[in-house]
Amino acid sequence: MGEVILLASGKGGVGKTTFTANLGATLALRGARVVLMDLNMGLRNLDIYLGLENEVLFDVEDVISGVCNVRKALIRDHRFPELHLLSGAQYKEVAGITPAHIKVLFNKLKENFDIILVDGPVGVGDNLKMSASGVDRAIVVVTPDYSALRNGDMVDRKLQDMGIDSRCYVVNMVKPELFGRNVVPDLGEMADIFRTSMAGIVQYDENVNIANNQGYPVVCKRDTYIARNFDMIGKRLFG
């Protein structure tokens, strides 16, 4: 039986989609059967970051409305063993999707895959409720900015209210040279803000941005500190 892990954030642009793609690729490299599911309905990006945008025929909404079965909507990423994308809907009405629909879909995926990483919505609204229903764990993605930390903490509290006890946060876009100079929040301040523990950091690097635009997970390049950041997070989260 697999596990569903939601990636959430209080602010857009902190790196949820980047994190989903690269953690997924890292875990698939370690032999896990992984699905990356995009629940940013109408605002999907995961397909672009994986370079699979021309292969999306069916999406989450098609599966839920019965247009196709889940197998048909899964796109296999040929660069990584057992990495799959289930894309979000882009150009159509998705108002009919409920938390119960999403939960049923999660349970179906859990039968055949080890890890389902959900690229979730920004903020604490109804979309979070929909995406979080039935997840086993949640990871709040933040950057070393007071704004992202405060909003991230709000999301964490909301997830706790929804009964998700297994939660942690990760810090993306870290510039280590700024720590200890009192110019950005340091790791100690972050630990004071959050009631959960930190699962790791990902450094800021323009190659992440380039890789996203070129359509490949940056961890494809193995001998880099970004790949090591993700390896460490993978180990901390999954042993």
Residues that bind ligand ADP (CB under 6 A): 9, 12-18, 45, 172-173, 202, 204-205, 208-209, 212
The distance of closest approach from Cβ of residue 44 to Mg ion in the complex, given in angstroms and rounded to an integer, is 8
Distances (CA, A) of 230 to 24, 27, 103, 221: 10, 9, 28, 12
Q: Output 15 or 144, the one with its CB closest to ligand ADP.
A: 15
Q: Are 117 and 230 in contact (CB under 8 A)?
A: no
The distance of closest approach from Cβ of residue 17 to Mg ion in the complex, given in angstroms and rounded to an integer, is 3
Q: Look up residue 156 and give its two tokens.
A: 């964490």
Q: Are 167 and 154 in contact (CB under 8 A)?
A: no
3-class DSSP assignment, residue 83: strand
Q: Are 7 and 156 in contact (CB under 8 A)?
A: no
Q: Which does 205 bind (CB under 5 to 8 A by kind): ligand ADP, Mg ion, none?
A: ligand ADP
Q: Are 123 and 129 in contact (CB under 8 A)?
A: no
The distance of closest approach from Cβ of residue 14 to Mg ion in the complex, given in angstroms and rounded to an integer, is 9
Length of the chain: 239
| 87 sits near Mg ion (criterion: CB under 5 A) | no
| 131 sits near Mg ion (criterion: CB under 5 A) | no
User: Please, which of residues 15-74 interact with Mg ion by CB under 5 A?
Assistant: 16-17, 45
Q: Which does 176 bind (CB under 5 to 8 A by kind): Mg ion, ligand ADP, none?
A: none
